[in-house]
Copies of this chain bind each other. A is one copy, B any other.
């Protein structure tokens, strides 16, 4: 019986290869018949640069969209908060003091430079800061904060300013403290893989540095060409490698942080094990610069592995997607590096709006598509493992159809489908975007509930990082419409809260969602956060109006 099923599955796989015209297939060299020939070019590197290009292109689209549709952009810019009257405004004495510490050049009052620094990259948030300071080291930054605290001058720490929730730009006239000049690599230990660097290092520069040493960063983001490691840590950035290497709470080994009063908290350990007292660095991972400014970072970097494989699969129902994830975690286990999903609506959008995309599985329309990436140390072993997994998945009926990337072009075209969805959504018209974490088994229920709720008024699209339980829920409509928005919110937040999800999976709360924190956190927990904020920053000068509801901390 088993043999018959295996034979049927092999037949299916063989048919699939014929459909896709995989001319390079060499059955004799492989157990199941799945093969691919990637040669010796660094595939991961190619994909990374590809995504970066796409991100840039999305950015331009989103900027255009936000200029047109700003007012009705979901809940994005709806937060109204008053300037805290306890804060001072900058005077000439302040400028003289800062120039004494930093020199003229790094005390910036230039209108054009400030215009850029006052605005986020989506042009959704705009502050009115009159001053940007660029310290070159921890001592300077400490002096600045000590002074600002004594004068009750509010500050906003700014790295690459690539955030999505208005966390890295001023709300009013906060002084911008930009960390771009603190960008040295301090040390790298090739045995332990521990990198120590300053907070202003651009992520892509760290990736390039490590690449030469045979290592990678444990996180990778579309915005890597601009974002800084200090910002990544302050926002607890997730990114593309989380399913494999985990969150920054696991990989960051140490931090140096400056508190509001200028105290330098040196916790820059390079050890994997250190149980000497409370591990306070975690307070600063994900607190969005509201408790202190990260100045130095110690992080564990994984070795760079040579073998990358990508499969694009079709499933008929969501339960099969879940089961496939379960199987992938067991059978691919240690080599699984991405498990992404998109529904038929997302696939249709991409096929319709992006000329460059073609369907790798064109013989039928399926309800769900899965992209699986593996990364390992041995090409032939990994291929064999992936092929055995896919064979079993087809044999058991979890996968209805599938294709293995045979070369770089196919690999990038598979990623292009998944990564092209935001761009396709932008081209389709107005879009209401939600970035949510939900238990995997409940995740798609929200998409279906939203579909029922909105009826024919809008196209509800679901995709995201299934391996991380991270859903990107998007509602696409011909144009922005308050009636549609009223149907979506607060329903989406209430639904997420009811199912113990997170209303911000990886972007943080910033200004956008500070007042919505109770959808994901209990009042006792938020109260404790506020107490910690008051303890570390009693004057509330650090990135005010963000993260914590203003009523609790002002």
Contacts and interface: CB of A to CB of B under 8 A. Distances in A.
Contacts of A502: 269, 271, 273-276
B249 A282 contact: yes
Contact of A275 (B385, B501, B507): B507
A150 interface: no
B509 A276 contact: yes
A505 B275 contact: yes
A305 B333 contact: yes
A333 B189 contact: no
Interface in A404-458: 437-441
Contacts of A465: 273
A237 B525 CA distance: 25
A264 to B, nearest CB: 7
B271 A439 contact: yes
A269 B469 CA distance: 12
B265 A278 contact: no
A352 interface: no
A513 interface: yes
Given A249-B250, A330-B377, A273 B440 contact: no
A19 interface: no
A243 B193 CA distance: 12
A40 B282 CA distance: 42
A332 B274 CA distance: 26
Given A191-B440, A249-B282, A385-B381, A276 B504 contact: yes
A438 to B, nearest CB: 8
B275 A326 contact: no
Interface string A377-415: 110010011001000000000000000000000000000
Contact of A333 (B243, B276, B376, B517): B376
A275 B193 contact: no
Contact of A273 (B193, B242, B250, B529): B242
A248 to B, nearest CB: 9
Contacts of A526: 277
Contacts of A522: 265-267
A214 B503 CA distance: 31
Contact of A279 (B214, B277, B282): B282
A531 interface: yes
Contacts of A173: none
Contacts of A110: none
A277 B192 contact: no
A238 B274 CA distance: 10
Given A263-B524, A385-B377, A437 B532 contact: no
A440 B287 contact: no
A272 interface: yes
Find the residue from A192, A193, A267, A509 having the highest chain B CB count within 10 A.
Answer: A192
Find the residue from A273, A381, A465, A526 having the highest chain B CB count within 10 A.
Answer: A273
A103 interface: no
Contacts of A249: 249-250, 279, 282
A528 B280 contact: yes
A466 to B, nearest CB: 9
Interface string A285-317: 111000100000000001111000000000000
15 contacts: A246-B251, A263-B524, A265-B528, A269-B502, A272-B470, A273-B469, A274-B437, A276-B520, A277-B509, A277-B529, A278-B533, A330-B377, A334-B334, A378-B388, A532-B532
Given A191-B323, A273-B505, A282-B283, 8 more contacts: A189-B440, A246-B251, A267-B521, A271-B505, A273-B469, A276-B517, A278-B286, A334-B375
